[in-house]
Structure 1
Amino acid sequence: MEFEPRLDARRSPVFLAGNFAGVFRVVTRDGEHLAIKCFTREVPDLPRRYSAVAKFCRSAQCPYVVPLQFLSAEVFVTSRVAPHADYAVVTMPWIDGRSIGAVAEILCQRGNAAALAGLTRAWSRLCLDLLQRGIAHGDLKHDNILVSQDGRLKLIDYDSMYLPELKGLPSTMLGGINFQHPKRDVRHFDAAIDHFSMLVILLSLRALTFGPELFRCHHNGENLILTKDDFTRPEGSDLLKVLAVSPDFHVRDWTSHLIKSAKAPSIGIPGMDVILKTAAKIDATPALPPKKALFSFFS
């Protein structure tokens, strides 16, 4: 593979550092812009995991993932901290866009409730797609979800992805702490590991629809508005107290679900699909509680 690194204004390679890898933006001889992911830590069963992920992204026709290649011995490294050897990389098309966190911030600054409601619907559809496929991303958070230039949501960073053929392996990492169930550990690796983070992001976007000032007050760069402290000590969370009295029924209801889930021994959320199907139909109007059906003895 032949390519040149894309340079920034300071003539340095465009580079993003993560917990397990670094990502470079490069340009191939054909002019294609790629993301090249180089691993900086050992990932257990890396070839097995990424071979399965690459196959899924290539063949599943999922609109929310990016096709990628796993090259098991592409880069030769000489280093004082690792053996001289060929190392694996992952390549995928470079996606121009903003993170869902950055988009939410812009919409909050503009007070654009309708667009925030639209973003919430789009998020719910993405989550439903994952649930229906029986897969999980494993690290859903504000900067692993991109909004492309045409407004479509794309997931990036598949290090923690669960697929049925990977059943039985441990989680490689536990995801961003401000999005994950407080009881999640490496033993949790199945289609339910995304439930809690799905709800965290869903609730955050819905709450921002009616309280855009919450972003300025509660965003710390590593979250949307909620944090690990809200999950581990919900009874002491000022933010959850605010959300519990929201004018919107869904914010109140999803806050209740979040608190209940955070206290539960299981990280899966029963009825998560029902919550998401409801969210796929919302608008920017505060929702009222559903009316209870009236039964007639003569019906």
Structure 2
Amino acid sequence: MGRTAMASGERGAVEPPSLTDYMLAVQHPRLCFPDDEALAASTTVVDPLGPVTGSGVFGCVFRLTSEDGALTWAVKCFTSHSDARVGRYRTVCAALAGLDPAKERWLVPMEFAPEGVLVDGRRWPLVKMPWLPAAPLLDWVERRKEAPAALRAVAADFTLVVRRMEELRIAHGDLQHGNILISAPRRVRLIDYDAMYVPALAGSARPERGHRNYQRPEPVPYGPFMDRFPARVIQLGLLGLAADAELWDRLREDDDRLLLGQEDFEAPDGSEALAALADSPDPQVRAITAQLRKDLRSTTYPLPPLAAVVTEPVLARVPGARPRPAPDTRTDRAAGRPAQPQPARAGSTAPAPGSASSSAPGSAPNSAPPREPHARPEPTPAAATAAASGWVPSGGTPRSASGTSRATRDARRPVRRVWKDPVVLLLSAVLTLLVALFGVFLVLVDPAWSPLP
């Protein structure tokens, strides 16, 4: 395919295979994985969109199962070149090999093969991990955003994981929703070790910045404490939702974040999300929000460690907290839905928008009584272990400009719901498959044909 170099760093690879090259190659495991007997005898899982289960800036992930179906692996192949990748992965693997996965619950066993995948006669590196029966963080949170006890339990376990890794002088390097899986019973597992720091890498350059919606605008040094800011962002998001589930729909401008995003870090004083969290009825949420603001202003390193999670906080309305904005009826009509009254925040004595301001709570049909956070239902054990998923790295969906208004976000939400409709997804998958088959047909008929001018 016109590539001029081999894969290993010593031979100076310049142009690794593309996503399409890998998609074609992995459908023939015996040819693609000549040095791994298990992968060579496996079957590639293919859905209507093809064999790839996830792709990002640096690579793509495929799912393969053993002949008897008892074992399933996630195989990551790289679509970008890095001279330091082979040496870094060998160092990271050597450090992790000395850890006990039974004790380090966050750890997912990993194998790195510097020449593990064969594409077009050349060998390229791959990473192999077991496919976990676990849910990606955002999927898990969306199903349990009304279960505060579950959210606080995961926040507490996540905090323990980050603290334990600091004890080992290990940092993940890219803590974000796409690299966090939740397994039963509410245990945090970390995947994608591309940017990991281990003591043997001291003095090395940071291989990547990390997800923009979790990293501080002013980057911190590559070292054992570099996860503290993104970890605080995640801890704050989980605890903020536990205190007020409505923040999930109110603050999220896109599906590429938990609650906070890059624009909140770049302009914290004007951030609606940080202001809402600062008004939280949970005192620990208010304290973490204040610390996050200090982190953004700090010029010292390392940042303070994560605070311990209070799993049964006493919730109370903040005196002088800003009232929740009333719904924009013009936006509701433009989005094709009637204007809805908004319930009062937990702990508030003010009537919900749309009710008579002079009436007592519960005296008018349109008024909503204060919600009891602890009255939210806890998911059943069966629901907690359902919807197993695997290793799917974040692809980095472009988000809206930081100046997007709340009314504009509300108008966009019905569109996102439409795209989650199973019928729409199926039609989209069929159309994509037909286009791909047509392109393959043209290449077979005329090998010199190219969609590019």
TM-score range, shorter chain: 0.7 to 0.9
CA deviations 1:59-93 (Å, max 9, x no partner) are 21222011111111122223xxxxx6211111110
Return the letter of the residue paired with 1:123.
Answer: F
Q: Decide which of 11, 21, 27 is 2:65's aligned counterpart.
A: 27
- For the 8 Å contact 1:250–1:287, the answer to whether it is kept is no
Aligned counterpart in structure 2 of residue 65 of structure 1, from 80, 84, 107? 107
Q: Is residue 144 of structure 1 aligned with residue 179 of structure 2?
A: yes
Runs ≥4 residues deviating over 4 A: none
Other structure's SS at 1:91 match: strand
Stretches of structure 1 lacking an aligned partner (at least 5 in a row): 79-83, 289-299
Is 1:215 the equivalent of 2:248? yes
Letter in 1 for 2:78: F
Instruction: Using the TM superposition, give the Cα deviation of residue 267 of structure 1 relative to its aligned residue in structure 2, in angstroms.
Output: 5.7
- Counterpart residue identity of residue 50, structure 1: Y
- Using the aligned pairs only, state the percent identity: 32
Kindly tell me: are residues 30 and 163 of structure 1, through their superposed partners in 2, closer, same or farther at Cα, counting changes over 3 Å?
farther
**1:128, 1:57 → 2: CA distance?**
17
CA separation in 2, counterparts of 1:287 and 1:87? 56
Change (3 A) 1:237 1:11: closer
CA RMSD of aligned residues (A): 2.0
2:276 to 216, 233, 242: 242
Partner residue in 2 for 1:74: 116
SS at match of 1:158: coil
Alignment of 1:216-231 (within 5 A): 216-219=249-252, 220-231=254-265
The SS at the match of 2:46 is: coil
Quick check: 1:244–1:256 contact (8 Å CA) kept in 2?
yes
Greater Cα shift, 42-51 or 174-183: 42-51
Call closer, same or farther: CA 1:252–1:150 in 2, change over 3 Å: closer
Equivalent residue letter for 1:26: L
Larger radius of gyration: 2
- Shift of the alpha carbon at 1:150? 4.5
Is the CA contact 1:137–1:194 (under 8 Å) kept in the aligned structure 2?
yes
The question of 1:43 aligning with 2:82 is answered yes
Task: Write the distance in 2 (CA, Å) between the matches of 1:105 and 1:249.
Answer: 23
Instruction: Give how far 1:284 is off.
Output: 5.2
8 Å contact 2:154–2:186 — kept in the other structure?
no
Q: Aligned to 2:107, what secondary structure does the other structure show?
A: coil
Q: Secondary structure at the match of 1:143?
A: helix
Secondary structure at 1:51's aligned position in 2?
A: helix
Distance, in Å, in 1 between the alignment partners of 2:123 and 2:271 is 49
Quote how far apart the aligned CAs of 1:30 are.
Answer: 5.8
* Equivalent position to 2:138, from 93, 101, 104: 101
How many Å apart are 1:124 and its aligned residue?
1.1
Q: 1:267 to 1:43 in 2, by over 3 A?
A: farther
- In the alignment, is the contact (CA less than 8 A) between 2:282 and 2:313 conserved in 1? no
What is the one-letter code of the residue matched to 2:274? L
Alignment of 1:114-263 (within 5 A): 114-184=149-219, 188-219=221-252, 220-263=254-297
CA-to-partner distance for each residue in 1:10-47, whole Å, 9 max, x for gaps? Answer: 38324211110101001234642101110100124112
Q: C-alpha distance in 2, partners of 1:98/1:77? A: 31
Answering whether residue 312 of structure 2 is matched by residue 283 of structure 1, we say: yes
Choose 241-250 or 227-236, whichever is displaced more.
Answer: 241-250
CA distance in 1, matches of 2:258, 2:159: 16
**94-103 or 148-157: bigger deviation:** 148-157
Is the Cα contact below 8 Å between 1:77 and 1:85 reproduced in 2?
Answer: yes
- Could you tell me the TM-score, scaled by structure 1's length? 0.86
Contact 1:5 1:14 in 2 (8 A): no
Q: Which amino acid aligns with 2:62?
A: F
1:293 aligned residue: none
Q: Residues 43 and 28 (structure 1 numbering): CA distance in 2 closer, same or farther, change over 3 Å?
A: farther
Q: Secondary structure at the match of 1:255?
A: helix
- Residues 203-261 of structure 1 show CA distances to partners (whole Å, capped at 9, x for unaligned) of 11111011111111222111101011111111111121121122221111111110010
Q: Is contact 1:183-1:267 (8 Å) kept?
A: no
Q: What per-residue deviation string (whole Å, max 9, x for no partner) do you get for residues 111-145 of structure 1?
A: 21111111111111111111111110000001110
CA distance in 1, matches of 2:205, 2:49: 40
SS of equivalent to 1:73: strand
Structure 1 residues 149 and 43: CA distance shift in structure 2, 3 A? farther
- Mapped partners of 2:189, 2:46: distance in 1: 24
Distance 1:66 1:167, change over 3 A: same
Structure 2 distance, partners of 1:54, 1:102, is: 29
Distance 1:11 1:221 in 2: 20
Following superposition, the deviation at residue 148 of structure 1 comes to 2.0
2:154 and 2:188 in contact (8 A); partners too: no
Q: Which structure has the highest strand share of the two?
A: 1
- Residue identity matched to 2:199: P
Q: Is the 8 A contact 1:75 1:89 kept in 2?
A: yes
Cα distance in 2 between the residues matched to 1:146 and 1:287? 31
SS of alignment partner, residue 206 of structure 2: coil
Aligned to 1:7: 46
- Bigger mean CA deviation after superposition, 176-185 or 224-233: 176-185
The corresponding residue for 2:55 is: 17
